[in-house]
Amino acid sequence: MIDGVQVIDFHAHVGRMDRYGMQDDATMMLRAMDMAGIDRACVFHIFYPDGTSSNDLTARFVAQHPDRFIGFAYVSPLMPERMIPELTRAIDELGLAAIKLYPPYVAGQDFSQAPWDPIYQFANERGLTIIIHTGEDAPPKHLSVIAPRYPKANFVAGHSGNTPVERAQGIAAVQANANVYLETCSTFRTPGVIEQLVNEAGAERVLFGTDMPLMDPRPQLGKVITARISDEAKRMILGENARRLLGL
Amino acid sequence: MPTLSFKPRVPVFDANIRVGDTPDTPSPCRSRAELLAEMDFHGVQRAVIYHAHTEATSPIAGNERLEQWLGDDGRLVPQWSVLPTAESLAQVEALYAQGRVRCVRLHDTRPAGLPFRCWAYAGLLSWLSEAGIPAWIPLPDADADALVTTLQAYPRLVTVLVGAHYTHALWVRPLLRALPTAYLELSRYEPIGELEALRDEFGARRLVYGSWHTRYAMGPMLFYLHHTDLSDEELALVCAGNLERILSGEGVR
């Protein structure tokens, strides 16, 4: 809690990447969250294309601290026959709250192409939120294609596109579509990025994220806290927008 | 516990600020006055600065362009860039003779095929070591084996390893163990919990705060440092004390 705001991290992971020192040690994650005043983190596991293996790990992780972690479901068009049955199971049986997609794992197609449509249709029918990794390897311009086709789903550009050209695409998608949002985590901590997102997309469309445990959440929180934006904008970014999207 | 606004509670001396434009990116701080205003906003009193032109094109020309940023109030400490050529070394030696060299930054010669090896860098590193001048070494494109092999030949040379990233997570601890006179600059080192873990293993005296502004925003890592379990004494060392010691020629412990 920071100045009365319940702080929600919209982008965190379950799983290990040992070469980068990433491990989903809940104790370590909670310790960093507590030092930063982060109340809850949305977590997802994205390393198994069958979806089931990833979502079971996510659910098991969340079950350790259900008051602190919120699980999101993962599926991949690499195994198209599993997408809808697994999403149905993950949402209805495991209680996962939203969907995470990682397009760079699907070579040769962008995320506006037909293989991804069943996922978007599923989210549209249920009014779910989908956070999609974006960057040079997954340009957020594709959000401008899919968002108007699925108006009851909400789409979040993970990393807000990361780099300047892609960031501009993400902002354009927000400006054109009421159901698109931008999430802040990135090692690209370029000066003025948070200010740009607020000024051009609107604070009500920006979500705080950290990429924990790949990265420590505290510098990512520092990006928002030390930005030249109003306290009201910080409140929206740090928690109020996420609460609204997730119906908390 | 954090609040929606943040100011540091200890003096801050930033070890790593880049000034000036690169050929493809105009700087968000276009003048010395704008840089000082940014530092004031974030509660930073002093900074070591180098010119972007020294990285992108020419250390010699970039060092000349650094002069206009310095002023005479002592808030901005020049960091001269150098590479192992006679002309570059002569430029820095002349500045040294004027008493104006407190640290240098090694220009990356690997893109031009010159590795960071003793046979290529011996003249430069010998001079720095004998003169007691600390050297900042950017890590992003460095070769870990070359760093250790070469720097171990100069055990009294103090180095500040700059810009470690989470993709360097496997390197950092072995580097600090192998190089006892090396310090780690923290501008973009974000593996979870690692700051406290490095403090536990190596002590706060081996860690140096830098923002790497204008590549990165000035505030986030400073905020991070203030929300760890570092004591105020340790925080003061990381935010300013260690850098003061290094620049005073007392970096060899």
Give the per-residue pLDDT at B1. 75
Determine, for residues B169 and A218 on separate chains, whether the beta-carbon distance falls below 8 Å.
no
pLDDT for residue B104: 98
Mean pLDDT of B198-217: 97
Nearest in space to A65 (alpha carbons), one of A40, A91, A92: A40
**Measured between alpha carbons, how far is B146 from B152 in angstroms, rounded to an integer?**
10
Does CATH place domain A8-246 in 3.30.420.40?
Answer: no
What distance in Å separates residue B56's CA from the closest CA in chain A? 18
Residues of A with Cβ-Cβ distance to B167 under 8 angstroms: 20
Distances (CA, A) of B110 to A99, B71, B113, B141, B147: 43, 33, 5, 8, 12
- Contact: A226, B223; criterion CB under 8 Å: yes
> Which residues from A are below 8 Å from B195, CB to CB?
216
**Is the CB of A131 inside 8 Å of chain B's CB atoms?**
no
Distance (Å, whole) CA B133 – CA B250: 10
pLDDT tops 70 at residue B253: no
Return the pLDDT at B207: 98
What integer pLDDT is reported at residue B49 of this predicted model?
98
Closest CA to B151 of B188, B179, B172, B187: B179
Mean pLDDT score of chain B, rounded to an integer? 96
Low-confidence stretches of chain A (pLDDT < 50) are none
Q: A40-44 and A69-74 as β-strands: parallel, antiparallel, unpaired?
A: parallel
Span B171-201, pLDDT tens digits: 999 999 999 999 999 999 999 999 999 999 9
Query: Is residue B203 within 8 Å of B230, Cβ to Cβ?
Result: no
What residues in chain B have their Cβ under 8 A from chain A's Cβ atoms? Answer: 1-6, 28, 41-42, 165-167, 169-170, 188, 190-195, 213-224, 227-229
CA nearest to B7 within chain A: A226
* B64/chain A closest Cα distance in angstroms: 26
Res B187: pLDDT:
96
Residue pLDDT, tens place only, B58-94? 999 999 999 999 999 999 999 999 999 999 999 999 9
Per cent of chain B over pLDDT 90 is 94
**The predicted structure's pLDDT at residue B200:** 98
Q: Where are the domains of chain B?
A: 13-247
pLDDT tops 70 at residue B7: yes
With the CA atoms of B138, B139, B145 and B147 taken in that order, what torsion angle do they form, in degrees rounded to the nearest 10?
20
Residues of B in contact with A217 (CB under 8 A): 192
Tell me, yes or no, if A218 comes closer than 8 A to chain B by beta carbon.
yes
Q: Which of B4, B21, B173, B229 to mutate to test the interface with A (most CBs of A within 10 A)?
A: B4
Residue B252's pLDDT band (boundaries 50, 70, 90)? confident
- At B25 the pLDDT is 87
The verdict on a CB contact (< 8 Å) between A226 and B191 is no
- Distance (Å, whole) CA A107 – CA A185: 24
Average pLDDT over residues B44-50: 98
Query: CB atoms < 10 A from the CB of A152, how many?
Result: 11
Catalogue the E-assigned strands of B20-79. 46-51, 76-78
Say yes or no: domain B13-247 is CATH 3.20.20.140: yes
Q: Say whether residue A221 is in contact with chain B using an 8 A CB cutoff.
A: yes
Question: What local confidence, expressed as pLDDT, does residue B250 receive?
Answer: 85
Strand, coil or helix: what is A138? strand
Nearest in space to A172 (alpha carbons), one of A196, A151, A136: A196
Report ipTM for this prediction.
0.94
pLDDT given for residue A51 in this prediction: 98
Chain A residue with Cα closest to B165: A187
Distances (CA, A) of B194 to A14, A222, B143: 18, 17, 22
Over residues B137-149, the mean pLDDT reads: 94
B193 with A217: Cβ contact below 8 A: no
| Residues in CB range of B115: below 8 A, 6 or more apart | B109, B143, B146
Please check the confidence at residue B213 and state whether its pLDDT lies above 70.
Answer: yes
